[in-house]
Structure 1
């Protein structure tokens, strides 16, 4: 029985031995990639230029587009695909704050299409001789991390449920804050409510509503929120999006 349980565990974390059936086919496949994903979220949490969940969600996605060189491309759909109540105003505020630079106007960015993307810059991510920038991953990994975040944030049931920015941020937090079997927190012991509400840019009292939305979207099972702790596990359906704690 112990051997069977061990094998099931290896399947879930994507490390089952060859010939032992399918493991979880994770979008990000290695512990180093999982840790880099966490490093990006931690950087945004510490350096978000504007308050609020919508701003934080947009900053996560833009950071992942520009993480390597401080330069990247965006098209209108990248922004319009996010649950933002006033995308133009939010992009404008990021530009005014000095965090984001864009070629052209905000209106042109929102209208831009894949065949003619808008170049963007994030000065705080631009490396120079004295500062290599906050991230240590290579060029090839950046688009993988960006693609992973897009898959989490744009996951079908989150999209169809028209979930707000705070719910998408919580999905990112739980995908990077669970173990190989999807249990939340180190050793499955849960994640602090203060930590999660701070990351999601919501009041701690609002966190249970976000948890309910994720449960309704078949992301979370056995979820329990106390005043201090969220416990539960990711559903089998979304395990491929997970970046297990190692």
Structure 2
């Protein structure tokens, strides 16, 4: 008595809710478990197309590799090269990869460290020559097979062949290129069987038959005679489209003495001992020739080392994206190419030190 009566419960009310977004488990009045938020993984850090492990120790080594990867990518975006900076980066990379090899017991990292050290030495030497800090009479950093004017001539032949090969495919392109270099000055030249059979062609007899059949090539006898010919008895061949006109002009501007030098250069590239040992097919040899004429003076691909646009590369090497990746991998395996990276728009990378004498750098950075 004297106590107020308890208030009547309100109608239409519901059980208490902890959140208007939570679902209550039936019959318990307890909210169900919250969904686990999706975890966003940080992007993998990379350098030279290698993933840097998140658990790599010491941490200072991992930080150095991550920073170097960013610095190399920033260098590739530069408008102009800085060889002193690039040499410093390569030296840092050599030290970092050597430490990484010791930490992970990965011998391939040690090999890459050695390549970086060699690249640093070449780049440093090029920088000293460019700035005039190397004394007169000293040997140049890279003794190239062709000289500066001949580099442009080599590119002009590759450009001409890209637009004047009468048959499709890399094999036809490579054979037409080599025949063009043999006959470029007068439209005529001498050929022996080894010149053709050494190119890694699937069926050289059939291919030569097609070139003669469409009128691009003239030979005095049969295809079998040409393939059997030896240096003491070469076969004279003619490419009618290269015979000078009545005014004496042809498609090329270089002279009689330059032609054999260009032909010898191309022969050195396609018959490289590691390409021969790997029995490289025509596409790989054609890519090797193309890359040799597509570097800066340190061997980085593209003008200023900025890479080669894929649409430009496609005009020189007839291959789709999948085939091109295969060719790049094979060329890397033969110690021609290092640090290769293929994006949707460009191929970047570095030709190895052993093939730098065969390169024809772009002149704008010299």
User: 1:193 maps to what in 2?
Assistant: 310
Matches within 5 A, 1:23-102: 23-29=141-147, 31-102=148-219
User: 1:218 maps to what in 2?
Assistant: 335
User: Which piece of structure 1 moves more, 110-119 or 200-209?
Assistant: 200-209
Counterpart-to-counterpart distance in 1, 2:346 and 2:223: 40
CA 1:53–1:24 in structure 2 vs 1: closer, same or farther (change >3 Å)? same
Which SS does the other structure have where 2:350 is aligned? Answer: strand
Which SS does the other structure have where 2:202 is aligned? Answer: coil
User: Which piece of structure 1 moves more, 58-67 or 192-201?
Assistant: 192-201
The two structures, once aligned, show a CA RMSD in angstroms of 2.1
Which SS does the other structure have where 2:251 is aligned? Answer: coil
Any idea what the Cα deviations from partners look like across 1:153-191, whole Å, max 9, x if unmatched?
A: 111111111111111111011100001100000111100
Q: 2:253 aligns with which of 120, 136, 147?
A: 136
Runs of 5+ consecutive residues of structure 1 not aligned to the other structure: none
Counterpart-to-counterpart distance in 2, 1:77 and 1:159: 13
User: 1:227 maps to what in 2?
Assistant: 344
The question of whether the paired residues in 1 share the 8 Å contact of 2:196 and 2:227 is answered with yes
Shift of 1:8: 1.8
Which SS does the other structure have where 1:146 is aligned? Answer: helix
The question of whether the paired residues in 2 share the 8 Å contact of 1:158 and 1:217 is answered with yes
Runs of 5+ consecutive residues of structure 2 not aligned to the other structure: 1-82, 88-122
Counterpart-to-counterpart distance in 2, 1:72 and 1:57: 17
CA 1:92–1:225 in structure 2 vs 1: closer, same or farther (change >3 Å)? same
Counterpart-to-counterpart distance in 2, 1:22 and 1:129: 43
Q: Hey, which bits of structure 1, 4+ residues long, moved more than 4 A?
A: 10-13
Is 1:154 equivalent to 2:263 in the alignment?
no
User: 1:123 maps to what in 2?
Assistant: 240
Counterpart-to-counterpart distance in 2, 1:102 and 1:186: 40
User: 2:286 maps to what in 1?
Assistant: 169
Give the alignment's TM-score, normalised by structure 2.
0.63
Shift of 1:12: 8.2
Any idea what the Cα deviations from partners look like across 1:204-244, whole Å, max 9, x if unmatched?
A: 23111111011101111111001211001111110000001
Which SS does the other structure have where 1:230 is aligned? Answer: strand
Shift of 1:192: 1.4
Which SS does the other structure have where 1:222 is aligned? Answer: strand
Aligned length: 244
Shift of 1:128: 1.8
Q: 2:353 aligns with which of 236, 242, 246?
A: 236
Q: 1:103 aligns with which of 204, 220, 223?
A: 220
Shift of 1:18: 2.3
Higher relative contact order (CA 8 A, sep 6+): 1
